Structure 1
């Protein structure tokens, strides 16, 4: 299961970041990558650093298991491993589906000077950040497949990074860019899951 977890994780990274970036570039001439993290120490910078750290820890979890790090015995059960496998595969598929649903508006990162169309249909009618939801689900699945300390920390760090990115970076940008259109959308659609994290309209 450990080798499978590592292979799935690397496949997920390749598809979500490599293949999707290449597809965006072929269709628009723009990679969609907005990697500037801003000044060190800012919330935007921390969100980026934690996100990269989570991705690195995602690889380190299975690698540590292969090196001999023991799993938590309470989580080391075949049923949970299978649940993790299903969640991981579903998460990878959902990540790609949500990325493709963004069309040419897809970006990794935020350019405060850029304006792209606001996507509110498809998976974005269920949650405002379905890509991040799917990524968190993928990492949780991997932590169940390889339930050691590194894999679980990877999931926790990713959740913190995504919360910080959405609340401190993306939502202020979307409000500034789309104004009341985003406020109306955010008032009816949850942040990561349906119904939860809706913004109150002033």
Structure 2
């Protein structure tokens, strides 16, 4: 197990970029949550709290990548450090943009736990016109960015399977609720748009 979390050398600049981005990530989450309206205003038609088990499995994947020792390379940045930091920053910008655009398209429909509302809309625009689960795609890229910035590549051997198991647990429940509410409209959307990769999966 120790070999699994043994870190590779990583630039301190990449680590700073990763942790600095967490503040932006939290701000985007708060904005997404504010679109749901004040507490108590939701009229929930269907809810599947068992999807929280999927959240827990996904979180375990993040924990495996996020925790462990670091082998920081400290000093003036060389070409490798600059490239690593640029890749981390570029990926983070993409992840945050995709989450922001997806949560904006969902509006009051966005939630952590799988559920539908009486006024729920079937969102098929924005990032959802390309894939049905863009937020899960963004979170997967986030795991890869964490592994790069922290030098925890070996942890991906367990973290990636755990993340996708948790994701499937959530997606299967969400699709069940959406089919129950939207019927053939959701079936037509699912036949047209892939879950995670446009035109493939």
Q: Do these two structures clear the TM 0.5 threshold for a shared fold by scoring above it?
A: yes
**Which of residues 102, 106, 109 is equivalent to 2:106?**
102
Give the C-alpha shift of residue 156 in structure 1: 4.7
Kept after mapping to 1: 8 A contact 2:115/2:174: no
Normalising by structure 1, report the TM-score.
0.71
Instruction: Give 5+ residue unaligned stretches, structure 1.
Output: 39-43, 71-76, 198-202
Instruction: Report the secondary structure of 2:67's partner residue.
Output: helix
Structural mapping, 1:49-198, within 5 Å: 49-57=56-64, 59-60=66-67, 64-65=69-70, 68=71, 77-78=80-81, 79-111=83-115, 116-149=120-153, 152=156, 153-166=158-171, 168-197=172-201
1:107-134 deviation per Cα after TM superposition (whole angstroms, max 9, x unaligned): 2211368661100112111111112112
Tell me whether 1:8 sits opposite 2:21 in the alignment. Answer: yes
Higher RCO, 1 vs 2 (CA within 8 Å, ≥6 residues apart): 2
Report the number of matched residues. 179
Give the C-alpha shift of residue 69 in structure 1: 8.5
Instruction: Report the secondary structure of 1:177's partner residue.
Output: helix
1:172-200 deviation per Cα after TM superposition (whole angstroms, max 9, x unaligned): 22112211100000001010121123xxx
Q: Following the alignment from structure 2 to structure 1, what is the Cα–Cα distance between the partners of residues 93 and 113? A: 24
Q: Which 4+ runs in 1 deviate beyond 6 A?
A: none
Q: Following the alignment from structure 2 to structure 1, what is the Cα–Cα distance between the partners of residues 168 and 24? A: 24
Task: Please state which structure has a larger fraction of its residues in strand.
Answer: 2
Q: Which moved more, 1:91-100 or 1:50-59?
A: 50-59
Which protein has the larger Cα radius of gyration, Structure 1 or Structure 2? 2
Instruction: Give 5+ residue unaligned stretches, structure 2.
Output: 1-13, 74-79
Give the C-alpha shift of residue 17 in structure 1: 3.1
Give the alignment's Cα RMSD to 1 decimal: 3.3
Q: Following the alignment from structure 2 to structure 1, what is the Cα–Cα distance between the partners of residues 116 and 103? A: 20
Q: Following the alignment from structure 2 to structure 1, what is the Cα–Cα distance between the partners of residues 34 and 154? A: 31
Q: Following the alignment from structure 1 to structure 2, what is the Cα–Cα distance between the partners of residues 35 and 142? A: 31
Kept after mapping to 1: 8 A contact 2:64/2:155: yes
Give the C-alpha shift of residue 165 in structure 1: 1.3
1:119-178 deviation per Cα after TM superposition (whole angstroms, max 9, x unaligned): 011211111111211221222222222221576354553333223311x21112211221
